[in-house]
């Protein structure tokens, strides 16, 4: 697998990362994960040269499983990131709420301590706040606490996971110079991070971790009319109502425009994200060995051509399906 620098952190990470939300099971909102498959998938990811793993306190059993595997591979250059959930439990963050309600310093420290206990790890390479509002820049004691955790050697770098489809809510933070990484939704459909956030990250040396590059499955070519999801799986709401039919229209237009089959769509979607020079890594959800092998293969493929990128940019389609249909 190819590797890139994670901004100014000094860390090198695989350009395809392991998104560990899905392996957390129903406690994290995904249904159907099996621990044996999840553990085998993560082991295969490492075997193929993957080094970046992203988890969170709010991802069910994910931290526990990630720690179980990573403890078997000391000294192998693995980089692991986790996230602190907002104390008030609100996703996405409201911009009229004071940061003392979401990320007071004591809550950040307590959450990290829970993550360390669950994972059995001694430190995390990146600690992220799981939602963000730029109204919090310069307020509260979160930054002081993060610096203390760095000084104590419990975390290496500090980042934020930007609110769903709100990349503008990170630009001021990046420009403030206090953040090392940002995690953001960026894909063929949602290209909004290109407008201001990604250029700001390039200018200030901030690492970019891309999530939802495959639109929660919408850009895999395997979700369409007739697809069903188990009870309790958040995708039942994400693709609810008439959304599967809407998606099908866009996927058909996209594949026809590119002249590719549906089975090639995921690979192209990942390469689109990796084409931007600001991107350090893209975290794809991989619950099986087959998923790992398919996504890892993208790392070695040739970049998309300028003509392909121009075609893909015509398919910008912004919407927020995390809200109820």
Domain ranges of the chain: 3-313
Instruction: Name the CATH superfamily housing domain 3-313.
Output: NADP-dependent oxidoreductase domain (3.20.20.100)
Question: Where do the DSSP E strands lie in 143-278?
Answer: 155-161, 181-185, 207-211
CA distances from 274 to 3, 132, 155, 167 (A): 11, 24, 26, 17
Convert the pLDDT of each residue in 110-167 to its tens digit. 999 999 999 999 999 999 999 999 999 999 999 999 999 999 999 999 999 999 999 9
Convert the pLDDT of each residue in 160-199 to its tens digit. 999 999 999 999 999 999 999 999 999 999 999 999 999 9
Q: Residue 27 and residue 41: Cα distance in Å, rounded?
A: 19
Name every residue whose Cβ is closer than 8 Å to that of residue 311 and which is 6 or more positions away in sequence. 257, 258
pLDDT score at 140: 97
pTM: 0.97
């Amino acid at each position: 697998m190819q590797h890139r620098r994670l901004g100014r952190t000094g860390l090198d990470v695989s350009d395809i990362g392991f998104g560990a939300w899905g392996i957390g099971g129903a406690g994290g909102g995904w249904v159907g994960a099996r621990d044996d498959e999840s553990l085998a998938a993560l082991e295969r990811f490492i075997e193929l040269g993957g080094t970046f793993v992203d988890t969170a306190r709010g991802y069910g059993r994910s931290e526990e499983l990630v720690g179980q595997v990573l403890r078997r591979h000391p000294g192998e250059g693995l980089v692991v990131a986790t996230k602190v959930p907002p104390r008030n439990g609100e996703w996405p963050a409201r911009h009229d709420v004071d940061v003392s309600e979401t990320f007071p310093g004591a809550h950040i420290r307590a959450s990290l301590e829970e993550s360390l206990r669950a994972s059995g790890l001694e430190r995390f390479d990146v600690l992220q706040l799981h939602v963000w509002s730029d109204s919090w820049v310069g307020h509260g004691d979160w930054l002081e606490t993060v610096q203390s955790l760095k000084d104590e050697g419990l975390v290496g770098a500090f980042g934020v996971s930007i609110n769903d489809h709100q990349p503008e809510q990170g630009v001021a933070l990046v420009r403030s110079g206090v953040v090392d990484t940002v995690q953001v939704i960026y894909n063929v459909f949602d290209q909004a991070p290109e407008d201001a956030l990604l250029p700001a990250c390039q200018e200030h040396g901030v690492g970019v971790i891309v999530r939802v590059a495959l639109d929660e499955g919408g850009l895999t070519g395997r979700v369409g009319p007739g697809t069903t999801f188990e009870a309790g799986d958040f995708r039942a709401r994400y693709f609810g109502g008439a959304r599967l039919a809407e998606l099908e229209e866009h996927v058909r237009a996209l594949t026809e425009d590119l002249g590719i089959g549906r089975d090639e769509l995921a690979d192209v979607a990942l390469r689109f994200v990796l084409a931007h020079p600001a991107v350090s890594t893209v975290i794809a959800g991989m619950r099986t060995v087959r998923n790992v092998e398919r996504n890892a293969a993208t790392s070695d493929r040739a970049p998309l051509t300028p003509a392909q990128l121009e075609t893909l940019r015509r398919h910008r389609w912004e919407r927020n399906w995390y809200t109820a249909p």
